[in-house]
Structure formats: structure tokens, C-alpha cells
């Protein structure tokens, strides 16, 4: 199965077109499942999880013909959308500090970023 690894965060659309969106972190490995003539590709993502998951059971109905595939939409995040996401998930001072340290941004980089911000 062909694999790709994301180099930027991506936006995951909410279920059934709801107004919620979520973020898939950069560096996530996507496994190509199937490409469609309509111009999109379906990917698989694997997760590990410890402990029980709050859930509801999906009953296999005849209309699913033995398999239920219920994908969400994934898209590249543009700058305006990213701003909207951060409005919903505000970052604390410690969140920002951790992100800066994790990405090895220098003090000079940070100074340049701050100076480019509107007053």
C-alpha cells in the first residue's frame, strides 16, 4: 500500500458536514487506499489507543453490503482557516513556549516574527 507522510498540518472536516473541524498533525503517515475518477483519493490512518473508548456500536445493515466505509474529508489548511482554528483552540503562553522550543525557533526568528505583527 503506497504511503505518504504529511509535511504540514491538515484540516479534518467534521462528521456529516457539521461546522466543526479538527487538525491532523504534520508528520502523520497516510496509506493510500483508493483513487476515484471524481478526482480524490481515500487514505487510511492508523491509531494506537490504550484503555476503553466511549463508543456506539455500528450495526451492519444490508445496505452496507458487508462493509461500511464512512470517510471524513481532509484538506490543506490555508492561513485564514488556521486563524479560525486557533480562535476555537486558543494557545496559552506555555503552549506557545513549548511549540517554539519543539521547533527550535531561535530568538532572532522570534524577534522577526514579533516585529512583523501588526500593532
Query: Domain for residue 72, yes or no?
Result: yes
Structural domain count of the chain = 1
User: In terms of residue numbers, what domain contains 72?
Assistant: 3-49+58-90
Domain-embedded: residue 35: yes
Residue 113 included in any domain? no
Q: Is residue 96 part of a domain?
A: no
The full 3-state SS of the chain, as one line of letters, equals CCEEECCCCEEEECHHHCCCEEEECCCCEEEEEEECCCCCEEEECCCCCCCCCCCCCCCCCHHHCCCCCCCCCEEECCHHHHHHHHHHCCCCHHHHHHHHHHCCCCHHHHHHHHHHCCC
4 falls in which pLDDT band (50, 70, 90)?
very high
Q: Is residue 67 part of a domain?
A: yes
Given a cut of 90, is residue 28 above it in pLDDT?
yes
Tell me if 110 is assigned to some domain: no
The predicted-structure confidence for 37-90, as pLDDT tens digits, reads as follows 999 999 999 999 999 999 998 888 888 888 888 888 898 888 787 777 777 766
- Does this model's pTM top 0.75? My answer is no
Amino acid at each position: 500500500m503506497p504511503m505518504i507522510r504529511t509535511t504540514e498540518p491538515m484540516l479534518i472536516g467534521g462528521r456529516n458536514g457539521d461546522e466543526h473541524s479538527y487538525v491532523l498533525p504534520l508528520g502523520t503517515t497516510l496509506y493510500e487506499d483508493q483513487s476515484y475518477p471524481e478526482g480524490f483519493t481515500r487514505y487510511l490512518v492508523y491509531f494506537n489507543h490504550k484503555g476503553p473508548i466511549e463508543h456506539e456500536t455500528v450495526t451492519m445493515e444490508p445496505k452496507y453490503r458487508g462493509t461500511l466505509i464512512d470517510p471524513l474529508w481532509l484538506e490543506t489548511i490555508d492561513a485564514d482557516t488556521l486563524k479560525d482554528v486557533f480562535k476555537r483552540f486558543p494557545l496559552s503562553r506555555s503552549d506557545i513556549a513549548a511549540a517554539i522550543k519543539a521547533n527550535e525557533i531561535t530568538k532572532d526568528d522570534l524577534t522577526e516574527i514579533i516585529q512583523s505583527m501588526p500593532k
